[in-house]
Amino acid sequence: MVWQKAGMRKFILSGILISLCSVLFAQKRPPRELMRKLVTKDLAFSVQQYKSLMRNLPPGKMLKTYDAAADTLVTSDPEWWCSGFYPGTLWYLYEYSSDAAIKTEAENRMALLKREALNSGNHDLGFKIFCSFGNAYRITGERKYKESILIAAKSLATRYRPSIKSIQSWDSSAMYKCPVIIDNLMNLELLEWGSKNGGGKQLDEIAVNHANTTLKNHFRADHSSFHLVDYNLSAGEVMRKITRQGAADSSAWSRGQAWGLYGYTMMYRFTKNNQYLLQAEHIAKFILDHPRLPADKIPYWDFDAPGIPHTYRDASAAAIMASAFLELGRYTTGQSRIRYITTAEKIIQILSSPLYLAKQGTNGGFLLKHSVGAIPFKSEVDVPLTYADYYFVEALMRYKNWYLKRTGKV
């Protein structure tokens, strides 16, 4: 394969070894004390690793990835869709540690990001603003953060297209008329939170309409998702269903399935609409019952990727899934609930292993190795990524706060 790198064979063999070993504890719950120690260790490591990263990130820039060959951080401007994940991770780590240096770094980077609340040029405002300012407001209660969230929610609402009852992801171009990608579900959290915190009922209506349209048009009979649906705005009709980051138009791009799982679980949290909970469980079933999901639950970059098992895993998709499964476990009962929580625990365990979790002071300061951005574009392949770290730390904090503090059975 043209995108293969040196060391790929070693990574694949290590992954196969972990997959084989994980069969030995398939669906077996680890003791709570084991998970307590693991989560505590991971969070303490994350604090120290990010304090190292903080020292290396140039002023005035946002974090993107790490170029191991050049031993340098790859940065972006605040306009980049991932710019909110680094400060968002910092807020989670500050919540855990109360380390003032981490809080100061988060505030300094958010000063660069604040103006993005007015940027209605694409749909990524939830990623940029809610992951950062949303966590900042939740933790501190400072009004200035809430104001930025509500501004961003109103900016995102301007991208709503009534003829298709959906939010347009990217502007029209020679390639697309009105593209809507599955990732867009994640930004509905900004709208739902805004609606319930002074932004008005219209934000909820837009979010619900978008979720319903996505449910109707993005999913196949097996509950896997297309990546991109392109609409004819004037006719209000679907023109085509394709991919940008998956293996093929008909394939199940792994991070896209993770966005869907997380998105409908989150929409159920806000609306208590059982249709969304049912859809989240349908997506969960597709993922967990898929014959090409490895036993260790770290998916290949696409469920239909050519060359499986001799291709890349995606730690970012796994981290998103772990966080989503932990929330889905809160809304379900019986064997389904146990399965979701057990899966999240297994993912956390595997991502905490030396294969995926960096050693202190390595990996440019990032936590996780082996994520995949966009293989069709040969972009960010087998590298650390900010959103992988963000959802990994979110999963750790969710497990700590939701499950380790409970009495009785998880």
Which residue's entry shows tokens 């896209």?
A: 256
User: Could you say which DSSP state residue 220 is in?
Assistant: -
183 is catalytic: yes
By C-alpha distance, which of 380, 397, 377 is closest to 316? 380
Residue 35's CB is within 10 A of a number of other CB atoms, namely 19
Bridge partners (DSSP) listed for residue 62: 76
Identify the three-state secondary structure at position 269.
helix
CA 262/CA 258 separation, integer angstroms: 6
In this structure, what token pair is assigned to residue 106? 């988060």
List the Cα angle 271/298/377 in 5-degree steps: 90
| Catalytic option among 42, 124, 204, 302 | 124
Determine if the peptide bond prior to 58 is cis (ω within 30°).
Answer: no
Q: Which residue among 42, 183, 230, 296 is the active-site one?
A: 183
- Contact of 218 with 226, CB cutoff 8 Å: yes
230 is annotated as an active-site residue? no
Residue 282 tokens read as 């349908």
Whole-number Cα distances in Å, 74 to 39, 113, 167, 172: 28, 17, 30, 29
Interatomic CA distance for residues 57 and 253, integer angstroms:
31
Which positions are catalytic? 124, 183
